[in-house]
Amino acid sequence: MELSRELRFAEGELLLVRKPAGWTSFDVVHRISRMFGIKKVGHAGTLDPLATGLLIVCTGKKTKILGTFVGLEKEYDAEMTLGGRTESFDAATPVIEAKSTEGIDESRVLAVLREFTGTRLQVPPMWSAVSVKGKRLYKYAREGVEVQRPPREIVVQSIVPLLVRVPVVRFSVTCSKGTYIRSLVNEMGERLGCGAYLSALERTRIGPYRLADSVTIEELAAYRTMLESNPS
């Protein structure tokens, strides 16, 4: 998106922001709030700290429409590493079980990827922000406590393989709201019999909004500096 001179953050703007790795979605919201001196800032759809990609951020009066983005279809580019399993299903926690990938070739991987399209029930991972009895699941996980999580219906419209070079597999996935890609990856690893964890994830689309049209935190900071240097 273009950062024009007419942007009015306090009155209300819709921003397409490229979230960097290592940042929480709240980190992005907090930085924009401080950067432009506005209190009302929110995002539509959390990304895990290790993930990158598109985050829809609204400011001012536009925060009222955040709910309209929640149900939109999502698209991700994902990378999974075969031969290991982690508690969080991604690279945020250490590998707790390693297995051989011997005998696993491209044809087997592609066959398993095809199995994961369609409507299915998915149990949210323990390492997630879902609340159970008023407490985030990841807080239970840090205490070593596992709680019952009701499964949710999700839809995986398509999975397109991008690279199969065992132990690394990359693919693009289009899915419904509430889909945990790392849970899909964990299940794929179980199906292959060697374990797998999500080693990289980038959200590339939310409904009609695309990562290619987003701005970085650095670009927003440069825009803020420009406004300060040229207030007229």
Cite the beta strand spans of 36-167 per DSSP E. Answer: 41-44, 52-59, 74-82, 84-86, 95-98, 118-122, 131-132, 135-136, 152-165
Residue among 73, 77, 99 at smallest CA distance from 166: 99
Tell whether the torsion through CA atoms of 85, 91, 95 and 99 is positive or negative.
positive
Which one is catalytic: 27, 48, 90, 213? 48
Strands 196-206 and 95-98: unpaired
Q: Does the annotation count 105 as an active-site position?
A: no
Name residues whose C-beta falls within 8 Å of residue 162's C-beta, 6 or more positions apart in sequence: 77, 170, 171, 172
Q: DSSP code of 213?
A: G
Residue among 24, 19, 8, 2 at smallest CA distance from 59: 8
**H helical segments located in the chain:** 25-36, 67-70, 106-115, 137-142, 181-192, 217-229
Q: Which residues are catalytic?
A: 48
